[in-house]
């Protein structure tokens, strides 16, 4: 494991069970993006905990396989409902959503551990903006319950 090693060790030390995606589920996600390629860091996430986690890490947030295949559609619907001139493209992959009013995505062509972008209906005037330099950083900061993780990064 190249990208999530540190986080996985942290979760194991804190005795947080992680449920991996099955190979079948992983293939469903890959099918969803057509000819694009998923970033390696995200594949590691799916292989280690894409089926869910126990306790508090990412619980109640839409990011696991049970809802994952709907997230791009839900993100597009949220933009439409909010009447914003923003659109998700086939290069954007929504991997996290909370309460149906905010979501995070990465671009499929920005490397193996891509930056994370954010949209919230509460901040719709700002449009999409970058919140972390890497997918791994997003996960680490969510685990540490960093309340500033959704702030714009310059």
What would the pLDDT profile of 75-112 be if each residue is shown by its tens digit?
999 999 999 889 999 999 999 999 889 999 999 999 99
The DSSP string of 96-118 is EEETTTEEEEEETTS-SS--EEE
Query: Cα(48)–Cα(10) distance, rounded to whole angstroms?
Result: 13
Tens of pLDDT, residue by residue over 112-151, are: 999 999 999 988 778 899 999 999 999 999 999 998 999 9
pLDDT band at residue 1 using 50, 70 and 90 as cut-offs: confident
Q: Are 64 and 78 in contact (CB under 8 A)?
A: no
- Is 55's pLDDT higher than 90? no
Give the CA-trace dihedral at 44, 57, 81, 120, to 10 degrees: -90
- Residues in CB range of 52: below 8 A, 6 or more apart: 18, 19, 64, 65, 66
């Amino acid at each position: 494991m190249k990208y999530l090693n540190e986080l996985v060790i942290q979760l194991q030390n804190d005795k947080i069970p992680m449920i991996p995606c099955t190979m079948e589920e992983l293939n469903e996600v890959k099918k969803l993006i057509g000819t694009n390629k998923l970033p390696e860091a995200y594949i590691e996430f799916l292989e280690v905990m894409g089926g869910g986690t126990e306790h508090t890490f990412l619980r109640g947030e839409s990011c696991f396989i049970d809802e994952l295949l709907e997230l791009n559609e839900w993100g597009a619907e949220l933009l439409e409902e909010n009447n914003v001139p923003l659109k998700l493209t086939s290069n954007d992959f929504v991997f996290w959503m909370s309460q149906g009013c905010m979501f995070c995505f990465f671009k499929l062509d920005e490397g193996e551990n891509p930056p994370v972008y954010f949209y919230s209906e509460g901040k719709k005037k700002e449009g999409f903006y970058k919140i972390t330099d890497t997918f791994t950083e997003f996960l680490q900061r969510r685990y540490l319950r960093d309340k500033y993780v959704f702030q714009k990064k310059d």
